[in-house]
Structure 1
Amino acid sequence: MTGISTPDFGPENDYEKGIGDDKIPAELAGDSEAEGSDCIRSIRSDASLGSTCRATRRNPKETSVRRSDEDLMLSVKEGNSTAFETLTKRHYTNTLNFIYRFVNNRMLAEDLCQETFLRLWRSAPTYQPLAKFTTFLYHIAKNVCLKQIAKDQRTPYTSSLEAPVPNDSGGDYNLSEEIADNRYLPEETTIAREADEAIQSAIGDLSDEHRLVFVLTELQGLSYQEVAEIARCPVGTVASRKNAAVRQLQRRLYKHLNS
């Protein structure tokens, strides 16, 4: 498969190289940045991991007047904090869900999601709509996740039974409490728990590149084209990484089922 070139997003790249408030226009610096942080914290408190397991549904009545993400981001570039709040509300929970699936730690995911939107705010002055806004946003989130993984030296991709788990209604429950529920047979619960742990462990053993592609395509439902732009690699590379990830997971899970 022939690969394609991907756009150079520039803004986030510049920020990663150390461009700080000195490159932010006056209307985005100082008190305005604090305002952006307050907005993120407010939305973070209302965010729910469980509500993002499915794609967000839009109200048909709002579709005709809904401003595009790219248009909103250009307004943010001009110092419009209301546009930033709209973007954050629109994409915070989906971004949180992506990060959670990548790091498998809710508290860490919430911190990294807040960091992602803070970086989005700081990147606004040099933003150019060269690709979909979500591609730009996930690129920032990816960098935040990879830096955290490098910092933690690849901590195990595991979760505690006591940790909150998102459910379909948007709330949380403790798996340990559900295991204790007498409606569940011990044997079935044990099998399900072991299978889940095997899957989590197998995903955690994937390389960063393979895990990124697997999570974005299989769990987030993004196209190969979108993932290629986020990962900054050809579509063919995305396909090969996806296939390699699936093969590795199949081998790991086959060994588990036959052990």
Structure 2
Amino acid sequence: QISIGHAPRGETITSLPLSSPALQKQYLDEAKKQGVAITSLCLEIMHVNGLKSDPLGEKWLAECIPIAKALGVKVILIPFFGKWAIKQQAEQDRVADIMRNVAPAAEKLGVILGLENTISAKENVAIMERSKSATVKTYYDVGNSSKEGYNVVEEIRWLGKNRICEMHLKETPWEKYLGEGGIINFPAVIDALADIGFDQWAQLETSCPSKNIAADFTRNKQFVETLIGKRNRLGSAAKA
């Protein structure tokens, strides 16, 4: 996942840097060289120009859609946090109306607009329905939702595979390794995702307690892979 839109400290931008074809090529070439997929774009500039009330937010979103297409990316993560959170009904309605304006361009290019926020699954679906576009989905983060007090397993099952475009897997509290001292029942999360047939990307948005990025990433990755392996073996046994 590529974060997009942050200006260098003390500077402002008039266009998203990744709108440059030359820079896009650099990213594509490096991804190919490293053997990694670019799964999504996080429109990080929304932390500066939030979509709910800053006119620049809609501009950045519209500009990001062709960038996603050029990079072969299907999902744009649109964040709503801090002062740009959408806790009030009027804010959610405003975002839904902006989505309705922008969605046709995304639909034309096959790009999904993923909402990541601190509201409930039902509130997110209300935004999707008001937007009147199937390209607007939830970018579901189990850490954010559990921190807000929502039952993430129930929400995942209720949303189903067609309303979740991508996932963030992180613990609550965030400083913990996955499955080690946090409050999230990750085996139940993996079961829920398997049961609904979720087959999209899930990103590890995790902390680094040991300050060794590679070691901590591997530790969290192996934890998730072990859970998936157990679930797959159970599924195979049930079919046998």
TM-score, normalised on structure 2? 0.31
- The answer to which structure has the higher helix fraction is 1
- The answer to which structure has the higher strand fraction is 2
Higher RCO, Cα 8 Å, sep 6+: 1
Higher gyration radius (CA): 1
TM-score, normalised on structure 1? 0.29
